[in-house]
Amino acid sequence: MPSLHGLLDTAISHGRLTVTDAKGRTRSYGGKAPGPEVGIRFTTPSVARKIFLNPELKAGEAYMDGELVMTEGSIHDLMRLFFANKRQFDLSPSQIFWRGVARGFKRFQQNNALARARGHVQAHYDIGEEIYRLFLDADMQYSCAYFPDGTETLEQAQTLKKRHIAAKLRIADGQRILDIGCGWGGLGLYLAHLADIEVVGVTLSERQLAVARRRAEILGVSDRVTFELIDYREVQGKFDRIVSVGMLEHVGVHYLKPYFLTVRDRLAPDGVALIHSISSKAPPGVTGPFLRKHIFPGGYAPSLSEAVSAIELSGLWVLDCEIWRVHYGHTLRHWRERFAANRERAAEAMDERFCRMWELYLSMCECAFMQGAANVFQIQLGRERDAVPLTRDYIAQEEARIAERERDFLDRVVASAAQALDR
């Protein structure tokens, strides 16, 4: 009879996994090629069968529930082992079956109609700022940072990300900016200090909204930086620049066309939009079951082909497309290490089960970028083909100019996050 033993024996070649069942019996798998050496123990007799029937979801839930505990190495080591052998796991009959089920229910799982979108966002982003403060940078940037060398601190890399985006947008006096999915307001406030502009940030998270508004008040820019609790589909008016960082993953593949039509309709004739999103080098797929159920309900990182197909139907020009490969892997490593360093505080704020879920989430995503197919794209869009210069030379020039300008305001903008959160 097929069993977890057979699955592990077939799938694991890189590294070694030692499994101790609930009766104390031990078996080892792999060792044919270099890789992490990990040990786990099952605390209940039924967990092995549950994992065999649905490995990707049930192994994660077993760890969350204490039915799978680490005896050698860490949960991050276990994730590294899984990703080192992921191709073979993906070929197992159970994984093929559940992936087929997920594809069949893709439209339902990614139903982000207006009535459901707010609930999906609040399920993740409104769990409390205290958790996010434990692992994010001081500006509360909850998206991929920019690591040109890979040696930057998290704070440096997040500043470089904002600077890079601002350079591509070519921020100038008199512009009106729309920030779709504004988070805790850091990017919008950063842009507002580069020039005399108006910024409108929109979010569906009530808690993020409150913090962003307090930050604008602290910095004295509430007259030209406003944050609203509305869906991107409800925004009215025209904007010279549109920026959206880490929001496209919450749209859903069946809403990509309406999303880019909205960007087109809100963009001024000579305007520029910059869309930053998680993606993959692989063809269109589905969100992993653990992330879909426990972390990002309704979430899906579109493939580049899905995004570009929707853009083509909008009539917008793709002015530039940049692929960030391991940048998010470095970002997640920093987040994972910071969360681990503050784990006791996280358990006090939430509970032990949440901590296990969160460390698994951060580790799983880090491995997806460092060992798997995940990446990030930045697509620059315009209604006119000449909305930006014809070569990328201007980006470095703009970054140098912005770096000089940052000296006058960066510390104050970043500090406003802590002041707003402490109120």
* H or E element in which residue 185 lies: none
Strands laid side by side in the 26-30 sheet: 26-30, 14-20, 33-42, 68-72
Sequence-distant (6+) residues with CB within 8 A of 344 are none
Residue 336 to residues 76, 134, 333, 366: CA-CA distances in angstroms?
9, 10, 5, 8
Tell me, yes or no, if 321 is annotated catalytic. Answer: no
Q: Distance (Å, rounded) from C-alpha 376 to C-alpha 362? A: 16
380 has which bridge partners? 274, 320
H and E: helices and strands count for the chain? 20, 11
Q: Distance (Å, rounded) from C-alpha 120 to C-alpha 122? A: 6
Of the residues 144, 182, 365, 367, which is catalytic?
365
For Cα atoms 320, 323, 327, give the angle at the middle one, nearest 5 degrees: 135
End-to-end CA distance of the chain: 60
Phi, psi of 230, rounded to the nearest 5 degrees: -140, 160
Percent helix, strand, coil in the chain (nearest 5)?
50, 20, 30
Largest CA distance in the chain: 71
Residue type, 70: M
Given a contact cutoff of 8 angstroms between Cβ atoms, the answer to whether 287 and 404 are in contact is: no
Phi, psi of 69, rounded to the nearest 5 degrees: -125, 150
Q: Distance (Å, rounded) from C-alpha 83 to C-alpha 368? A: 7
Q: Spell out the alpha helix ranges (H) of 92-193.
A: 93-104, 106-109, 114-125, 129-133, 154-169, 186-192
Q: Which DSSP string do the residues of 242-308 spell out, in sequence order?
A: EEEES-GGGT-GGGHHHHHHHHHHHEEEEEEEEEEEEEESSPS----HHIIIII-TT-----HHHHH
Beta-sheet strands, E only, within 31-100: 33-42, 68-72
The SS3 assignment for 408 reads coil
Active-site annotation, residues: 365
